[in-house]
Amino acid sequence: MRMINRHPGRVSATLLGLLPFLLIMLIYSLASQERLADNPNDKLLPGLEQMTAAVDRMAFQEDRRSGDYLMWQDTTASLERLGLGIGIAALLALVVGILNGVLPLIRSNLAPLVSALSMVPPLAILPILFIVFGLGELSKVMLIVIGTAPIMMRDVAQRVRELPGEQLIKIQTLGANSWQVITRMALPQVLPRLIDAVRLSLGPAWLFLIAAEAIASTEGLGYRIFLVRRYLAMDVILPYVIWITILAIVIDQCLRFTNRRLFPWYNAGGH
């Protein structure tokens, strides 16, 4: 049997998916043990015991200066910024994307601008955002919006243009005006694609968030990572990176579950 025709079962697929993670953990464990055996105070590859102690200190013990649980404080701050930025970006993408896809006049007017904005490296304009909006929350949220919204706008607009032309002809034949075409034909079919676009934008959104927090912030996951790096505190940095990854996976799976529950017809089509 050809390799392209061999499909693993559910259990086999799960085991194959876990294998790379187990290999990475094994390699790290062996390297850490070797370095710690030579130097028990080595900070580059901390052992599990060191990282567990750091998590306990950051997440379950009050900070001596502020009295806060730093890890949860950082998590709350970062998720608020991420949620606000992605939410605004998704709303803009929905409105502009549908208008670009449905109305030729709007597409001629806005599509070139959206295409140009999607090519601008968001991190390159971070200093401009700090100058214009200051060092507060707005500049961090705007970086996420500017970094993710144009791509999602183009994706939504493309989805609208991919809708069968027969649908547009039929709904107009039945007397629908432009508003009804948008709300009754385009919008219901675009919403699941928008959720997929948000899922794909989560990675870049986290990147922009951490970059902004690292430069100008007093709390947040990115801020904490760059704060402790000066002490080479890998026992804090690595758990924070793992925690960010877990948060991203959970958010992605929640969006995936929502998409499947709300739009089963979309996922039944192989999306």
Cβ(208)–Cβ(268) under 8 Å?
no
**Can you give the length of the chain in residues?**
271
- Output the pLDDT for position 65: 84
245 has pLDDT over 90: yes
- The rounded percent of the chain whose pLDDT value lies above 90 is 54
Contact 111, 100 (CB under 8 A): yes
What would the mean pLDDT of 199-207 be, rounded to a whole number?
Answer: 94
The set of residues, in sequence order, having a beta carbon less than 8 Å from that of 115 and lying 6+ positions away, is: 150, 154
Residues sharing a CB contact under 8 Å with residue 172, sequence separation 6 or more, in sequence order: 181
Domains in the chain (CATH in brackets) are 70-264 (1.10.3720.10)
CA distance from start to end of the chain: 27
Residue pLDDT, tens place only, 50-62: 999 999 999 999 8
DSSP H helical ranges for 103-233:
104-118, 126-133, 137-161, 165-173, 178-180, 187-215, 221-228
For the chain, what is the mean pLDDT?
A: 90
> Mind listing the pLDDT tens digit for each residue in 227-239?
998 888 899 999 9
| pLDDT at 73 (0 to 100) | 94
pLDDT digit string (tens) for 103-160? 889 899 999 999 999 999 998 988 898 898 888 899 999 999 999 999 999 999 999 9
pLDDT confidence tier of residue 270, bands split at 50, 70 and 90? low
Q: List, in order, residues 6 or more apart from 32 with CB less than 8 Å away.
A: 45, 46, 47
pLDDT at 209: 94
CA separation for the pair 195, 201 (Å, rounded): 10
pTM: 0.88
Q: Which residue has the higher pLDDT, 215 or 225?
A: 225
pLDDT of 269 > 70? The answer is no
CB 222 within 8 A of CB 209: yes
Cα 47 from Cα 76, distance rounded (Å):
27
